[in-house]
Structure 1
Amino acid sequence: MKHSRIIFAVLSAILLVSSSAWAEFRLTPGFSLRQEYDDNIYLTARDEESDFITIVRPSINLNWETRFVELSLNLGLEYEKYLHNSNEDELRPSQGARFDSTWSLYKNALFLRVSDSYERVPIDEGDKGGLDNKLANLTDRNRLIVNPYLLLHPLRTLEARFDYQYENVWYRAEEGDDAETHRYSLQLTKEISPRISAILYGGYTQYRPRDASRSVLEDIGDEEYDRTDARLNLLWNVTEKFTLGGNVGRAWLDYDYSGETSSTLLGGRADYQLSRTVSVGTSYQEDISDSVENGAREQKRYSAYYSYADRAKASLTLFKSRDDYIEIQRQDDSMGAVLAGELPITNKKGVAWSLNYTDYEKAETEDYDRYGARVEFYHDMRLGRFALGYTWNRNDSDIQDNNYTSNIIFAQVVLSW
């Protein structure tokens, strides 16, 4: 929350420094109001708690471009008011609030990127959850990035990029692992041909949790580690409609007390536009990322998609993933599908819908099937959209206390000027 002040400090500096770019300045205010009834706000198996929730969200969307800076700001306040559970009332930056800026400091070679984002994220991705749920297994996360970098072109087809990146991650929930990271990296991009390019990347990262452990025997605190990466990426535009990409590499993690471990970095992607309206693709990725509360994890994810976009829209995504947690004995597997679309009825009216399914195996302790569905009838207006909708969630677990169902009925209006 405190890092949000940085957004306003940087924005104020831009207002003072840049005086010649009013023609490139665009400011769009917005406002949304949502009223909903949720019959199970905590996603419990029994003694469900229902409530009427009012959500008010004023916002501004700002874009500014000058010779020295490119800036975008999507900032709003979100107030949630519960009729019967006033202890859950909340005023915070709106979910998805984001600030991005890139400063040109010296002759299109030295740059500074500053970004800040605020969003709601799951505390444990294997625990409770559902479409449009606002309380169960969720916390606020603020991510601040300060990234000076240097771009050089020693050859016409070769670009060298030197980076230092400071990142500060803050979670509102006590379970969240607040941390700072410092990353130093070199990236070489070579155009092999007009259709093929290669990227060679090397990086060194210092992960420094705010509550660092002082011994491997401590039950509280998180362990510091240093990470070294080496990776090669290739991108091939086979035709204007067919693209292939891939990467291979290795990551080494050196923990303060637990010793060293290494993981393979591997990925591939294919995207093909079959026609003006139809696209298909598939991807596979192995990488390491930090979880909210359980440290670093090795992630393997496969996905495939089909997309149709014309006056009506429809998409299908299939996925399968595995998370191996490095610091604890835990392995999660999941697979599922997301089917979504939009069907216009008239020029201003239509139906948007989605269906979700996930089969999740959590660390050999729980196996559940999770279902979700949402349907929304909308009417477009001159300044925005009015919608009425219904959301359904169902969790079928082999642990009886983790079975739950929720029903949400909502009405909302979204305006922009």
Structure 2
Amino acid sequence: MKFTKFKLKTQFVCCSFFVSVAVLMFIASAEAAEFAIRPSIAISEEFTDNVFETGVNKRSDFITRAIPGIDLKYRAPVLELDLGYNFDYRYYIRQTRSDDNTHYLNTRGHISLIDNFFFLDVTDNYQRVSLDITRDVTRESLFVDQSDQNIVTASPFFVIRPTTQTNLRFGYRYVNTWYKSPAAFDRTDHIGFAEGTYNVSPKINVTGGYTFTRDIAPVDDYSKHDVYLGFRYEYADISFLFGQGGGTWIKYSKDSTFIAPFWNAGIKHQFGSVTATINASVRYYEDPLRRTTQETSYSGAVDRDFKRGKVGIFLSYAEFVDTEIDRLQTKSSTAGTRGRYELMNALVANLSFEASKYDHKDTGSYTRRFFVDTGLSYSFVKDLTCSLYYRYIDYYSPVIVTDNKQINRVILELRKTF
């Protein structure tokens, strides 16, 4: 049964992709409109000394990847369509793992059903994601602690403009989330929303809204209400201040209730060649391994542009709460630096370093992580690039045995866009 479900889901994703392409080609040939198509191909060879990211009995391998892709854009008065697709095939030369493949699909369609009044947005996003919401491991490995994810969204909505300064928007949103991993929770969301925006001046606007979400999942359904108010103030060129706050109320079918505020605020300021950003937020995520996770985060960054490059530093702190049991699960803090420099014409070097610490409340322990990411890219001719990357990941934990490991990865890639 699980295999049949996965097969049907995969067929649906592939069919939706090819149907989208077919429809786009038909429309492009039927009427004069802006239409662009760009195929691409990337070939890479990777060596990793720790395929399965283990602390003992490490196994190394060479991984050959072939990534053909295509980008399509279509613009017409009634329809706007953007489609990006890559097929990623991986061959493990020493057969430490069976040949693997995944898809990367990002499709967005915007249809004007009734001019300036009734619209339909449709999106389909397929990608490989980290199962642990507190750590993004997709940059560390090709498959460890990850799952293919597909999110299909359809949203019919109305737009009313009572005045030139006021924009009212209300409608319905259907969201279907599927994971290939049996450990993750598939879910379907039915969302009703109403929101308004008022432009006080060319530089200031205020927003407000309400959403109701009915989430259906195999483990535990819930209903969620969100009410919010916000503003954005652009006080200078490429400099702005924004804030949004409200409350959320979640009622689970197993009778547990979670009520809490949420907000999202920040500032971006540019002075000369330096750009500084500060953000603080409380948000709610559909967690692959839980029902809904609350993330409280604070982050800041300072970047400086030079004539031939850029350098910056960044800091972040976050807390993750399981809303179903209203309990803190993990705290994470990260500090790092990043840089980009053009060594000579067409040759660019990149370097980033991150140091992170994860405090686990269930074990009373912590995990420390170092991540080094370096690279060189050379453009031979237009749209033909050769890149060499080296990535080093180091984990340590005094209690969690599986969080004691080191990984070295070297990747050589050749990419051509036509």
**TM norm. shorter chain > 0.5:** yes
Whether the 8 Å CA contact 2:257–2:324 is kept in 1: the answer is no
**Matches of 2:400 and 2:99, distance apart in 1:** 30
Query: Pick from 307, 324, 329: which aligns with 1:327?
Result: 324
Alpha-carbon spacing, 1:110–1:11, altered in 2? closer, same or farther (3 Å): farther
Letter in 2 for 1:69: L
Whether the 8 Å CA contact 1:227–1:251 is kept in 2: the answer is yes
**Matches of 1:153 and 1:125, distance apart in 2:** 39
Alpha-carbon spacing, 1:352–1:21, altered in 2? closer, same or farther (3 Å): farther
Shift of the alpha carbon at 1:4? 3.9
Task: Indicate whether 1:123 and 2:131 are aligned.
Answer: yes
Local SS of the residue matching 2:313: strand
**Matches of 1:86 and 1:47, distance apart in 2:** 12
1:8 corresponding residue in structure 2:
18
Q: Where does structure 2 lack aligned partners over 5 or more consecutive residues?
A: 1-9
Shift of the alpha carbon at 1:350? 2.3
Shift of the alpha carbon at 1:165? 0.6
Whether the 8 Å CA contact 2:384–2:415 is kept in 1: the answer is yes
1:154 corresponding residue in structure 2:
162
Q: Where does structure 1 lack aligned partners over 5 or more consecutive residues?
A: 212-221
**Matches of 1:22 and 1:55, distance apart in 2:** 38
- TM-score, normalised by the number of residues in structure 2: 0.92
1:397 corresponding residue in structure 2:
397
**Matches of 2:229 and 2:135, distance apart in 1:** 35
How many aligned residue pairs are there?
Answer: 403
Local SS of the residue matching 1:88: coil
**Matches of 1:199 and 1:92, distance apart in 2:** 39
1:370 corresponding residue in structure 2:
369
Task: Indicate whether 1:62 and 2:63 are aligned.
Answer: no
Query: Pick from 252, 258, 264: which aligns with 2:261?
Result: 264
Local SS of the residue matching 1:6: helix
Following superposition of structure 1 onto structure 2, how do residues 292-371 of structure 1 map, counting pairs within 5 Å? 292-310=288-306, 311-328=308-325, 329-365=327-363, 366-371=365-370
Letter in 1 for 2:417: S
Render the CA deviation track for 1:232-257: whole Å, top value 9, x for unaligned: 01111122243110011001111111
Render the CA deviation track for 1:228-281: whole Å, top value 9, x for unaligned: 110001111122243110011001111111332211012211110111x32111
Whether the 8 Å CA contact 1:3–1:144 is kept in 2: the answer is no
Shift of the alpha carbon at 1:162? 0.8
**Matches of 2:18 and 2:136, distance apart in 1:** 35
Following superposition of structure 1 onto structure 2, how do residues 23-38 of structure 1 map, counting pairs within 5 Å? 24-38=34-48
**Matches of 2:167 and 2:93, distance apart in 1:** 57
**Matches of 2:351 and 2:56, distance apart in 1:** 28
**Matches of 2:244 and 2:72, distance apart in 1:** 35
Local SS of the residue matching 2:26: helix
Render the CA deviation track for 1:83-114: whole Å, top value 9, x for unaligned: 123643112213xx211111111112211111
Local SS of the residue matching 2:290: coil
**Matches of 1:400 and 1:248, distance apart in 2:** 37
**In terms of mean alpha carbon deviation, does 404-413 or 119-128 score higher?**
119-128
Query: Pick from 172, 179, 190: which aligns with 1:164?
Result: 172
Whether the 8 Å CA contact 2:336–2:352 is kept in 1: the answer is yes
**Matches of 1:167 and 1:126, distance apart in 2:** 23
Shift of the alpha carbon at 1:338? 3.4
Whether the 8 Å CA contact 1:123–1:138 is kept in 2: the answer is yes
Letter in 1 for 2:286: D
Shift of the alpha carbon at 1:315? 2.8
Letter in 1 for 2:44: R
Shift of the alpha carbon at 1:20? 5.6
**In terms of mean alpha carbon deviation, does 82-91 or 29-38 score higher?**
82-91
Local SS of the residue matching 1:136: coil
**Matches of 2:312 and 2:98, distance apart in 1:** 35
1:217 corresponding residue in structure 2:
none
Whether the 8 Å CA contact 2:28–2:35 is kept in 1: the answer is no
Local SS of the residue matching 1:3: helix
**Matches of 2:35 and 2:189, distance apart in 1:** 33
Let me know the Cα RMSD of the aligned residues: 1.8
Following superposition of structure 1 onto structure 2, how do residues 183-332 of structure 1 map, counting pairs within 5 Å? 183-209=191-217, 211=218, 222-275=219-272, 277-310=273-306, 311-328=308-325, 329-332=327-330
Render the CA deviation track for 1:269-319: whole Å, top value 9, x for unaligned: 1110111x3211101001211111111111101110112234212232211
Whether the 8 Å CA contact 2:258–2:324 is kept in 1: the answer is no
Render the CA deviation track for 1:25-50: whole Å, top value 9, x for unaligned: 11111000110110011111110111
Provide the identity percentage: 21
- TM-score, normalised by the number of residues in structure 1: 0.92
Shift of the alpha carbon at 1:404? 0.2
Render the CA deviation track for 1:151-210: whole Å, top value 9, x for unaligned: 11011211110121101111010011101101000011111222211111101011011x
Alpha-carbon spacing, 1:24–1:404, altered in 2? closer, same or farther (3 Å): same
Letter in 2 for 1:93: H
Letter in 2 for 1:259: S
